Chain A
Amino acid sequence: MIELSLAEIVELILKVLIFPGVAFPLLFAVIAIWFERKFLARIMLRIGPLHVGPFSRTGLMQPIADFIKLIQKEIIVPENAYKFLYNLAPILAALVASLSVAFIPYAPKPDGGYWVIFYTPLSLLIILAIFTARPFIMVGAGWASNSKYCTIGALRAALQLLAYEVPIVLSLASIVIMSRSFDLARIIESQSSIWFIILQPIGFIVILISMMAELSRRPFDIPMAEQELVFGWPTEYTGTQFALVMVSEYYDLCAVASLITLFFLGGWMGPAIPFVPPMLSGIIWFLLKMAIVTVVIIMGRGIYPRLRIDQLLDAGWTVLIPLATIQILITLVTAQWWLPLVGGG
């Protein structure tokens, strides 16, 4: 039996329910949807959501209004669909997407531990395993819907997501070489004197592009919204299932933004903010860096058109994998210069 004191139980409940548990990705999804619609509208010289919301004409409650509208719609299951997998796939998508948040440390605790729901020294490998499980849900949903558009969309999702996992793993290999551990908290601790984005700029660009392709965001959103095939693999979903599919995309965005700030931007490292306790200061820095990465990923949707599937696979196999390999080689060759810079233990 595991014995937990009262303080630990309260802390566990706080972590699981509020931050970084159930409430935080949901709040992030709501704010990210609002921000994406408003900011992209400004890039296109439009206004964006306008009427729904507390302050006059900002439309802050628009995602919540959309969610309430979607919940009360009828769930339609096509007649020839394979019902078990068809109903299970959106739930699995949302679950798997929000699972990675359980392993990410968001701040150091004053007594030496970390603010993380489940701490293991091998959290990087677990997160990679969770990322590998995502394509199967999309292929399953596309096949179970039993329509031509969904089949083609699922095929393209499988090709794209499986092709872009290799550059991610290679770039993470060079991060692991530099920080000498698989532990996410240790990776942050080893950036206490210099952030990894300065030591590994090529790796940063490779991971940013590959993560955008893994999330199916424009310019890599061939599996989802495309002009030729009406909506890709989630075409047949309506009502609550559609809401779950949309929300799972933003849960993924939350996890990916946290990971990119962890690996390259120093996590919670930053000058101490006066008048706040040090744990809160760490959380604020982490959220600030996450916000910047989210803005960059969201802007890609407004600026670049969509790539074709064979151009995408071309870019993945012939450009990104060699770049990631070159990054590993550079890291290994210049070891004597960055060894004294990387702190931690």
Chain B
Amino acid sequence: MKLSMGPQHPITGHFRFILDVDGDLVIKLDPDIGYTHRGIEKLAEKRTYLQNLPVIERTNSYCDSVGTMLGYLEAVEEILGLEVPERGKYLRVIAAELNRIASHLYFLSLGAVATGFETMLMWTINDRELVLDLMERLSGQRITYTYPIMGGVRFDMPDGFKEEAIKRLDYLEKRIEDYYTMAAKNHTFKMRMMNVGILKPSDAIRLGIVGPNLRASGVKADVRKDEPYEVYDRFDFVIPTGKNGDSYDRVGMRLKEIEQSISIVRQAVKDIPKGAFKKWAPYVVPKGEAYTRVESARGEFGYYLVGDGGIKPYRLKLSPPSFRNLIALPHLCRNVPLGDVPIIFITLDLIPMDVDR
């Protein structure tokens, strides 16, 4: 029987899947994407480099907007040959890591909803509010910041930000113990998530999976350590890896990454130098092309920018991580029970807006 989990569904968000179901067993899964396509790459050709910032940020607005924008800014700065001042780089790292914490908390809430666990949904969304408040003090908005800009950041850190940030991050660290007790060590949660959707490392490398999904299968690959971009080479953090590559490892990976991000923000807030945080960028970008990649919360985000000497880009190509990870879904959903499909889908962390752009 052909079942269609349509674009409006309690669990898939704005995706459409066409399932081939036989009783309780899913034989085949076909994703049907394109419901939220907005043509961002074409819109970017009609606006100047500065006006493109809100547009590109909304590729992935409610989860990880700073990580989405950093790559574009690095590409423009590479063509221009502009060097960002030190304080600007530290502030960019603080914003990116806080955004990563917020994005992983949102992932945990969705992962709980996939199994019908409403308590974890409410707890993680509550704690995400604390991080969004911090970002509001820094930039003025809670979700779509438009905070990093060519040549630095837009606003400086306000007074009282350091103490407030350290207070909230301490509270968050203690709350993560509660999450371990309630979810990661809950017998029913383990029963639901262990040995579901096992991705072998050789398969992951062959299919081109990126991000925490790749690290959960045991492959150590992270852009922040392989090709450090901003000031990531000055901080002291480890890259956690998983053992089995099942859904339980993918959830545990994000919990450990939250802890690492908290330690990065603490180090950055302590070591931040004084000075200018913004350098004026010229309006006209010379001819040239650049390819950059950054590590957003979902994986590696690639940008290819071609400038032709005018004020508008000639071509911008985005290569989002969710689009790369989408190929894992039909690969993993062969001959699984129907109850496993939401879990595999949610733990791969696919955002429809990223896939469709």
By a beta-carbon cutoff of 8 Å, the part of chain A in contact with chain B is: 40, 43-46, 148, 152, 218-219, 221-222, 225-228, 230, 302-311
Q: Are B24 and A309 in touch, CB under 8 angstroms?
A: yes
Check A303/B114 contact, CB under 8 A, given A148-B3, A227-B10, A311-B191. no
Per the bound structure, the CA–CA distance linking A304 and B113 in Å amounts to: 12
Shortest C-beta distance, A229 to chain B (Å), equals 8
Check A227/B1 contact, CB under 8 A, given A44-B118, A44-B123, A307-B192. no
Check A310/B337 contact, CB under 8 A, given A46-B122, A227-B10, A303-B119. yes
Q: Are A309 and B188 in touch, CB under 8 angstroms?
A: no
- Point out the residues of chain A lying under 8 angstroms from B123, CB to CB: 44-45
Nearest 3 Cβ contacts at the A-B interface: A306-B116, A44-B122, A305-B115
Per the bound structure, the CA–CA distance linking A228 and B339 in Å amounts to: 7
Q: Are A308 and B340 in touch, CB under 8 angstroms?
A: yes
- Point out the residues of chain A lying under 8 angstroms from B338, CB to CB: 152, 228
Interface residue? B219 (CB, 8 A): no
- Point out the residues of chain B lying under 8 angstroms from A46, CB to CB: 122
The listed residue (A45, A225, A308) touching B339 by CB distance below 8 A is A308
- Point out the residues of chain A lying under 8 angstroms from B337, CB to CB: 308-310
Check A304/B339 contact, CB under 8 A, given A45-B126, A230-B10. no
How many residue pairs link A and B with beta carbons under 8 A? The number is 67
Interface residue? B223 (CB, 8 A): no
| Residue of B with least CB distance to A230 | B10
Interface residue? B251 (CB, 8 A): no
| Residue of A with least CB distance to B188 | A304
Q: Are A228 and B341 in touch, CB under 8 angstroms?
A: yes
Interface residue? B309 (CB, 8 A): no
Check A45/B186 contact, CB under 8 A, given A305-B192, A309-B24. no
A-B contact pairs, 15 of them (CB 8 A): A45-B126, A148-B3, A152-B338, A221-B116, A222-B339, A227-B10, A227-B113, A230-B10, A305-B116, A305-B188, A305-B189, A306-B115, A306-B117, A307-B191, A310-B337
State the main secondary structure of chain B at its contact with A.
helix
- Point out the residues of chain B lying under 8 angstroms from A225, CB to CB: 116
The listed residue (B10, B122, B186) touching A305 by CB distance below 8 A is B186
- Point out the residues of chain B lying under 8 angstroms from A308, CB to CB: 192, 337, 339-340
Per the bound structure, the CA–CA distance linking A221 and B115 in Å amounts to: 11
- Point out the residues of chain B lying under 8 angstroms from A227, CB to CB: 10-11, 113-114, 116, 342
Interface residue? B112 (CB, 8 A): yes
Per the bound structure, the CA–CA distance linking A261 and B268 in Å amounts to: 59
- Point out the residues of chain A lying under 8 angstroms from B191, CB to CB: 307, 311
| Residue of B with least CB distance to A311 | B191
Per the bound structure, the CA–CA distance linking A148 and B9 in Å amounts to: 15
Shortest C-beta distance, B349 to chain A (Å), equals 17
Shortest C-beta distance, A160 to chain B (Å), equals 12
Q: Are A304 and B122 in touch, CB under 8 angstroms?
A: no
- Point out the residues of chain A lying under 8 angstroms from B342, CB to CB: 227-228
Shortest C-beta distance, A25 to chain B (Å), equals 27
- Point out the residues of chain A lying under 8 angstroms from B188, CB to CB: 219, 304-305, 307
Q: Are B116 and A302 in touch, CB under 8 angstroms?
A: no
Shortest C-beta distance, A239 to chain B (Å), equals 22
Per the bound structure, the CA–CA distance linking A164 and B117 in Å amounts to: 23
Q: Are B122 and A148 in touch, CB under 8 angstroms?
A: no
| Residue of B with least CB distance to A310 | B337
Per the bound structure, the CA–CA distance linking A62 and B121 in Å amounts to: 24
| Residue of B with least CB distance to A225 | B116
Per the bound structure, the CA–CA distance linking A305 and B342 in Å amounts to: 14
Per the bound structure, the CA–CA distance linking A230 and B341 in Å amounts to: 14
Check A302/B118 contact, CB under 8 A, given A228-B341, A228-B342. yes
- Point out the residues of chain A lying under 8 angstroms from B121, CB to CB: 44
Q: Are A304 and B186 in touch, CB under 8 angstroms?
A: yes
| Residue of A with least CB distance to B116 | A306
- Point out the residues of chain A lying under 8 angstroms from B112, CB to CB: 305
Shortest C-beta distance, B305 to chain A (Å), equals 40
Query: What 1/0 flags go to B317-347 for Cβ under 8 Å of A?
Result: 0000000000000000000011111100000
Shortest C-beta distance, B182 to chain A (Å), equals 8
Query: What 1/0 flags go to B107-144 for Cβ under 8 Å of A?
Result: 00000111111110111001000000000000000000
Q: Are B341 and A226 in touch, CB under 8 angstroms?
A: no
- Point out the residues of chain B lying under 8 angstroms from A148, CB to CB: 1, 3
Per the bound structure, the CA–CA distance linking A44 and B338 in Å amounts to: 28
Beyond A44-B118, A44-B121, 20 additional contacts (C-beta under 8 Å) are A44-B119, A45-B122, A148-B1, A218-B116, A222-B339, A225-B116, A226-B116, A227-B114, A227-B116, A227-B342, A228-B5, A228-B339, A228-B342, A230-B9, A304-B186, A305-B117, A305-B186, A307-B188, A310-B337, A311-B191
